[in-house]
Structure 1
């Protein structure tokens, strides 16, 4: 296994069989060696810097009914909200004063937050904060919409493909959603010029090791600038309420594999990791991650954007908790970097 790790670190494209072997190897020396190499590669590119992005959850309305998601259209328990333009700009003002130089606008596919609204908001942020990066994570759109957002000043777009296997995609989504359309969106985003992010849920219902291998090969082909992976966590008001959460250990292993495959990528230690494990964020960074996304959303709505059970949104996961976050990073020898942290 160490040979496979060293070949990955050397830039070699491993076969499906080799990647599978890395995914199923037992915990032990080889697994620790994988994380050690990934950490070394990340530090060679980014030193001990961890970029912070200010997360603004703009709406929990969504037209989709994804079976895993707590804000799915079919969940009647959700206390719905949407932020207006002034609300979002106030979040940016507060975040800028704290030192954030990247804002991430994330939300469900809310029909009321139209493309015109997004263009207006992005244009306003760009005019007020020309030195900041603007990341959008607003789901599937026509290419024309992505082009309009880009011209308005958006720099990055996050859209996890969730699974490359078409049959598995159908297990996670209703019939009106299409894996092929999701992939079309990702290729459009890259072609337009966005720093593009994709990723998967680790341990989603029905997922196999071979599915994950297919995901790794797709990500290798797409060569995204950002890669977001986190463990699946069930939500009590979804069809997957009784499913088991994904594995923290497998998530960490995948973080390390992806770091070796994509040395320059921007890879977050996700909130889902921190939700499942008190040390999840730090372990993710030690496995090769180099981004965290503290929550800038108004306190009154943070608990309403509940994609999964017990989602962490306070403490070191919040914009107000930057001192706590730095103390946690101090323990492992890392530091907050407030720069834009663009893909180079």
Structure 2
């Protein structure tokens, strides 16, 4: 198996059979070797730095009815909320003081947040924090909408594809959602010029090894700047409430595989991974991840953004959360830094258009 891992590191590709073997049960020695090679590659390009993104969950209204999601349209038990523009800007102010240089605006597909409202918000964030990146994670929109938001100053866009296998996609989503449209949105975002993130749930109902291999092939094709993966965790008010969840072990292994497949990728150790394993985020960092996404949302709304059950850090203030994370990261031998944390191939472009110091070579540790 170590020869297969070496091949993946060298060529960034495997046959379907080799991917299947790497995704099947492997020995503890092979698991250790895989994570070591992933960390070697991650440190080659990003050193010991860990980038933090300030997550602002600004609305839990959603027009969609995905079977796995706790803020799905038909969940009558969801306590709905929307943050005001001033609340969002206050979260950014707090985050900036704590060392965040990327803000992630994440929410359901909420018709209230029109292009006009979002463009005004993005422009104001950029006016107040010109050295920061704005990432959007607000689902499927038209190409024209994505273009307007990009023109307003949005730098990155996260849109998890969840699964590239059409039959599996249709097991997870109602017929009103289109597998082909989800993939087209990702291609539109790349064409416009965003730093694009996609990703999948690990262990979602109906997922097979073949589904995961197809997901890896999509990553090869799309070459996203970011890949966000996390274990499927059931939510009690969804049709999948009684389904088995994904595992930390497979999630961590996939992080290492993705790092070797896409050496330059920005790879989060997600909150979902930390939810199912108390050391999940640390294990993710030691498997090749280099991004964390602490929550900057007001504490009074965090429990309401309940995509899945038992989510961690719902009661912590932002400063408390960052202090805790910094200690956790240091225990792995890495360090959180004050930086936009751009994809390594995009840094020169960013630096050429800014008057402030290079976001990677002139940062400091928290």
* Secondary structure, counterpart of 1:301 in structure 2: helix
Residues 159-211 of structure 1: CA distance to partner in whole angstroms, max 9, x if unpaired?
A: 00000000100000000001100000000000000000000000000000100
Residue aligning to 1:204: 204
After TM superposition, give the deviation of residue 13 of structure 1 in Å.
1.7
Give 1:320 deviation, angstroms: 3.0
Question: Is 1:70 aligned with 2:66?
Answer: no
Give the CA RMSD over aligned residues.
1.2
Structure 2 unaligned segments of length 5 or more: list them.
345-366
TM-score (normalised: structure 2): 0.92
Residue 157 of structure 1 aligns to a residue whose secondary structure is strand
CA distance in 2, matches of 1:135, 1:320: 23
- Aligned partner of 1:135 in structure 2 is 135
- CA contact 1:253–1:287 (8 Å) conserved in 2: yes
Shift of 1:314: 4.2
Match of 1:169, SS?
Answer: helix
Equivalent residue number for residue 295 of structure 1? 295
Give 1:172's aligned residue: 172
Residues 141-160 of structure 1: pairs in structure 2 closer than 5 A = 141-160=141-160
Instruction: Specify the alignment match of 1:323 in structure 2.
Output: 323
Q: 4+ residue runs of structure 1 moved beyond 4 angstroms?
A: 314-319
Gap change, CA 1:319 and 1:205, over 3 Å in 2: farther
C-alpha separation in 1, matches of 2:342 and 2:323:
23
* Superposition pairs of residues 15-164 of structure 1, within 5 angstroms: 15-164=15-164
Q: Which residue of 2 aligns with 1:185?
A: 185
Match of 1:6 in 2: 6
Deviation per CA, 1:190-236: give whole Å up to 9, x if none. Answer: 00000000000000000001000000001111000000000000000
Distance 1:247 1:27 in 2: 17
Check conservation: 2:12, 2:262, Cα contact below 8 A: no
Structure 1 CA distance, aligned partners of 2:194 and 2:78?
Answer: 32
5 Å-filtered alignment, 1:280-291, equals 280-291=280-291
Answering whether residue 271 of structure 2 is matched by residue 271 of structure 1, we say yes
CA distance in 1, matches of 2:322, 2:12: 38
More deviation, 316-325/90-99? 316-325
- Alignment: residue pair count: 344
Give the Cα separation in 2 of the matches to 1:77 and 1:229: 27
Q: Unaligned stretches of 5+ in structure 1?
A: none
Pick closer, same or farther for the CA change 1:12–1:94 going to 2, 3 Å.
closer
Q: Which position in structure 2 is the counterpart of 1:335? A: 335
